[in-house]
Amino acid sequence: MRKRRGEVLDMVLEDLKKEHPDAISVIRLNGMLHSDDNCATKEIARQLCLEHQLSFSKMASSDDNTDFMIDMLRECGLAHKTVIFVLEEFDLFAQGKQRLLYSLLDAMQTLTSQAVVIGISCRLDADQLLEKRVRSRFSHRKLLFVPSSLDGIQRLMEHLLMLEDSSLPKNYVTEYNSRLTSIFGNKKFKGILGSLTDADATTSNILRFLFRVVSYMDMESGLLSMECFTHALSCMQRQPKLDSLQDLSILELYILVCMNRLEDKEQNSYNFNSIMKEYRSIQDAYKTSDKYATTVCFRAFEHLLDRELITFADSKGRNVALEYRPVKLLISSRELAQSLELNTTCPAVLQKLLDRERYM
Amino acid sequence: MSQPVTPRRTTRASTSAPDSPSSPPKSRSKPSPRRQLLAAAAPDSPSSPPKSRPKPSPRRQLLAAAAPVPATDDNPLAALLEALPGRRAQARDLLRLLAPAPALPVLLHGGAATGKTRALLLALRHLRLHLRPTPPLVYAALRSLPSPRALFASILSQLKAPSSSTSSRQRVPDKPSDFVPALRDALAGVVSQGENVYLVFDNLEVVRGWDKGGQLVSLLLRLHDLLRLPQVVLVYVSSAAPDAYYTMTGSVEPNHVYFPDYTVDEVHGILMRGQPNPKLYSSFLSVVLKPLFRVTRRVDELAAVLEPLFRRYCEPLGSLNGVPDEGIRRRLYEHLQPHLAVAQNETFSVPIRASLDDCKDGISGGKGSVKRQFGGRDGLSSELEFHMSVSAKYLLLSAFLASRNPATLDAALFDATGGTDSRNRKRKSSQASIDRKDTMAEELLMKGPGTFPLERLLAIFQCITSVSEDMLDEVECEDTIMGGSGMNALMSDVLLQLSTLCNSNFLSKSRSCPLEGSGRYRSNIDEDLALKVARSVSFPLSKYMYRR
């Protein structure tokens, strides 16, 4: 629930700044960028310099920066200014040695400094990731942001979509709003909302959904309709692997079916040569028209690897030729069976080879 | 809740206004004379993307074409959809998702050769046509960038104003922590003038293979949050599915647009474009496309194999201008059929010029010569296509034998005189030995070629070269290289040849045990190639190969 946390924090900080101008300085760090200690101290020093109109030298070493930070904290404390450190992606700071966290929290322990460290994270157990010495300096105050209920989400949607601008023509605004209210009251809409939030009820997902809904708006009339919502929902609920399976050629499907059969026969590991053996035995048994040379099959095999429907089972074998490296399927048998059924050009023999294993 | 949300709400209000940039062209007013003058004064950009042959357009050309040209026709939307066959839905989706700004990031995904980059660049060109000043497009072609540093340099240089001369002062950032603030500053400079910036990352999946690629990918996907600049529209193009990019952290997921592969009819339409004789080509495609489609659905591969086939197809015809009727069509099909069968069983490689000319001049009769000619193109020939020195060939053969045969067999195969023991001892195969042979066959399938130490390789090499020497002495060949004194020349640069073969990946070096001394090697070539090499030096390889 990143959006809400970050924005609530921003709101609070804005309010505080208005209440107490000049008494607060905010230092922002992000775990994605500044998880390395040297980068972090450099960034802290840079932001401190920026806040207090000091010149920042890029050549300063990490120790210099740390000393500078400690000095600044002391000075700010003496001047009764609070320094607020906002650490986003807090769990990424907890990787490695946690030197930065320790030095920050340690610096706060001195009597003269007035500093607050606020960490924002997606992980519920972010504080469990801390080392003992860091955790002992942590105040164990956690604020949990829970995803909102269905009603809350609906209210959010209404708030976002309803027009209140007076710059647009009045009758357009009233028609738009009335249309929207009727949609919100519709039972189908409740179903759509339920299906959306079952998968992911975070605000960012709702925003993405609403963006899509608005993008489907009818350009002529400028009004939203139920189709916009249903279209947007179907776009959000695509399954990439099944889509990918629909795009395969017949030979590639043959390879997948052979691999499925090998996995069924409880072969723990198999490689391209074993797949070819299975393929040839199928061709001999059924005498289909789809018998191709090994090089062609290998090209199809490489296509499957590119699409990430199969992958190598060993991550280290670099010295072995591709035909000998063990592979495994990345799709389930059920997905494969489902896609074969949906495929109109699929030969019946493939279905038969798979159906024997009763996956549907 | 009100404050952070309001900016978005005005956005939606602005997109819901009927005069948003993506409104259909019919409601757009004709450009005023002044605008036309301005447009005429705009620097000439290269012509619209080539619509002729279905060769994939070079991306540079597309990029240049993505620079907006003055609108010359009344319905640019129709022109856009015309230029993207089979991609109507995706083009509309793109226009819908990219047009309003601020826009959420967009991820285009689909298989290879499905037209993602092309559709994106054409759609962006269409969008940027109507906006003045033209919003800048920053394109990061990740496939051609070797490292993160190159990526940062490429993006920052595209954003810098050309008049700025301070580029020498600023170093290219090495780490993401330096890059993001630099990017933010560069972008802030651009968006302060109120225009959008489109930032495109093409082939995002290659970043995963870079050093620390995982972190960089999640960083790139989070740029929307890190930059906090609403006028920057981020677009990612990837051949990997979105599943590959899910991270543990809650990031703003981009909107997905999926590009499915083309269907048979769409491929038919694409290949028909720009053909000088549509009727002839369509009769050709109607017999050829469906069988080849069963093997692969990629347009680029199909185009590569259809070209020589079409030449074959037209051979009986005098000129390429006629419209074939039923009888002619049947004749052409019969002429093509053997070639089609051969072509289906070969990988679709692009032929080199020289062999193409050979094909043209070659005799076109009989299946045997057909096979040879087609084979010469695609590598299934009986001849070796590249040159190797004789000693390298022998070394390769010894490596193949050493990998393939178990070490215990060496004594039997290579006795003191270097000849083979030609007495085939026929043993009655018992059930146990049959089972053992089966398991060994399984093992060979699974494990691949075995490793051998250097000494064994050199020993086998010495044996077979002395064998060849003997054989050629019998034949009394005049070839000076194979004369007695030449043998020393063969032996002297063996180690040099060995390192060459390793570099060319014919041999690979396995991890060597520190107790054993010299390293172990493994041969990487398959039986076909070994037989070809053996044939080229007239070496009876099959006599030495271990048969299970």
From the list B389, B330, B380, the residue with the least C-alpha distance to B531 is B380
Query: Which pair of tokens denotes residue A119?
Result: 């960490």
Residue A251 has pLDDT above 80, yes or no: yes
Q: Do B16 and A176 touch (CB under 8 A)?
A: yes
Contacts of B260 in chain A (CB under 8 A): 243, 246-247
Q: Do B111 and A307 touch (CB under 8 A)?
A: yes
What region does A233 belong to: left with phi over 0, alpha with psi -120 to 50, or beta? alpha
B 428-457 near A (Cβ less than 8 A): 445-449
Mean pLDDT of B427-448: 71
Peptide bond into B254 cis (omega under 30): no
From the list A165, A343, A358, the residue with the least C-alpha distance to A254 is A343
Residue B214 has pLDDT above 70, yes or no: yes
What is the signed CA dihedral for B165, B169, B172, B175, rounded to 10 degrees? -140
pLDDT tens, A265-275? 887 788 898 89
Q: Which comes out higher in pLDDT, residue B161 or B342?
A: B342
Contacts of A208 in chain B (CB under 8 A): 104, 252-253, 255
CA-to-CA distance for B480 and B464, rounded, in angstroms? 18
What are the φ/ψ torsions at residue B261 (nearest 5 degrees)?
Answer: -70, 160
Band (pLDDT 50/70/90 cuts) for residue A318 is: low
By C-alpha distance, the chain A residue nearest B171 is: A58
pLDDT at A304: 92
DSSP-derived pairing of the beta strands B106-110 and A327-329: unpaired
* Most confidently predicted of B22-36, B313-327, B354-368: B313-327
Residue B224 has pLDDT above 50, yes or no: yes
Residue A256 has pLDDT above 90, yes or no: yes
Residue B39 has pLDDT above 60, yes or no: no
pLDDT tens, B466-490? 877 766 555 544 444 444 445 555 5
| B377: closest CA of chain A, how far (Å) | 14
Bridge partner list, B257: B108
Band (pLDDT 50/70/90 cuts) for residue A259 is: very high
B 277-296 near A (Cβ less than 8 A): 293-296
CA-to-CA distance for B514 and A356, rounded, in angstroms? 51
Q: Which of A219, A308, A321 sits opposite B241 (nearest CB)?
A: A308
Instruction: Mutate one of B255, B293, B298, B509 to test the A interface: name it (highest A CB count within 10 A).
Output: B255
DSSP-derived pairing of the beta strands B451-453 and B255-259: unpaired
ipTM higher than threshold 0.95: no
What is the signed CA dihedral for A13, A16, A18, A22, rounded to 10 degrees? -100
Band (pLDDT 50/70/90 cuts) for residue B301 is: confident
Is residue B216 a contact partner of residue B148, using CB atoms and an 8 Å limit?
yes
Within A217-312, where are the H helices?
A: 226-236, 240-246, 250-264, 272-286, 294-307
pLDDT at A253: 92
Mean pLDDT of A43-67: 82
Mean pLDDT of A28-49: 84
By C-alpha distance, the chain B residue nearest A36 is: B177
pLDDT at B62: 58
- Helix, strand or coil, per DSSP, at residue B504: coil
Is B480 an interface residue toward A (CB < 8 Å)?
no
Band (pLDDT 50/70/90 cuts) for residue B360 is: very low
pLDDT tens, A167-178? 888 888 888 888
- Mean pLDDT score of chain B: 72
CA-to-CA distance for B21 and B36, rounded, in angstroms? 19
Contacts of B241 in chain A (CB under 8 A): 240-241, 244, 307-308
Q: Which has the minimum average pLDDT: A25-39, A343-357, B348-362?
A: B348-362
Is B261 an interface residue toward A (CB < 8 Å)?
yes
Contacts of B215 in chain A (CB under 8 A): 32
At A316, the amino acid letter reads: K
Q: Do A205 and B24 touch (CB under 8 A)?
A: no
Query: Which pair of tokens denotes residue A257?
Result: 């079916």
Size of interface A-B (CB pairs under 8 A): 181
Band (pLDDT 50/70/90 cuts) for residue B304 is: confident
Q: Do B345 and A293 touch (CB under 8 A)?
A: yes
Band (pLDDT 50/70/90 cuts) for residue B139 is: very high
Give B509-532 as a DSSP string: EPPPPTTT-S-EEEE---HHHHHH
pLDDT tens, A200-233? 888 888 888 888 888 888 888 888 888 888 988 9
Band (pLDDT 50/70/90 cuts) for residue A358 is: low
CA-to-CA distance for B17 and A222, rounded, in angstroms? 7
Q: Do A296 and B509 touch (CB under 8 A)?
A: no
pLDDT tens, B273-282? 878 888 888 8
Which residue has tokens 């003496």? A78
| A78: closest CA of chain B, how far (Å) | 31
pLDDT at B10: 39
* Most confidently predicted of A55-64, A272-281, B347-356, B414-423: A272-281
pLDDT at B20: 34
Q: Which comes out higher in pLDDT, residue B192 or B518?
A: B192
Given CA atoms B126, B131, B132, B134 in this order, what sign does their dihedral have? Answer: negative
Band (pLDDT 50/70/90 cuts) for residue B67 is: low
* Confidence (pTM): 0.77
Q: Do B8 and A168 touch (CB under 8 A)?
A: no
- Mean pLDDT score of chain A: 84
Q: Which of A11, A30, A246 sits opposite B3 (nearest CB)?
A: A11
Residue A53 has pLDDT above 90, yes or no: no
Kindly give, in sequence order, each residue whose CB lies less than 8 Å from that of residue A80, ignoring residues fewer than 6 positions away.
A23, A114
What are the φ/ψ torsions at residue B520 (nearest 5 degrees)?
Answer: -105, 145
CA-to-CA distance for B487 and A293, rounded, in angstroms? 40
pLDDT at B382: 59
Residue B418 has pLDDT above 80, yes or no: no
CA-to-CA distance for A300 and A295, rounded, in angstroms? 9
Contacts of A11 in chain B (CB under 8 A): 3-4
What are the φ/ψ torsions at residue A88 (nearest 5 degrees)?
Answer: -85, 155
pLDDT at B65: 54
Residue B446 has pLDDT above 80, yes or no: no
Is residue A269 a contact partner of residue A329, using CB atoms and an 8 Å limit?
no
pLDDT tens, B512-547? 666 666 678 888 888 888 888 888 888 888 888 776
Band (pLDDT 50/70/90 cuts) for residue B34 is: very low
Q: Do A89 and B509 touch (CB under 8 A)?
A: no
Beta strand residue intervals within chain A, DSSP E: 24-30, 82-88, 115-120, 310-312, 327-329
Instruction: Mutate one of A56, A207, A244 to test the B interface: name it (highest B CB count within 10 A).
Output: A244
pLDDT at B545: 79
CA-to-CA distance for B232 and B235, rounded, in angstroms? 10
Contacts of B345 in chain A (CB under 8 A): 292-293, 296
Is B59 an interface residue toward A (CB < 8 Å)?
no
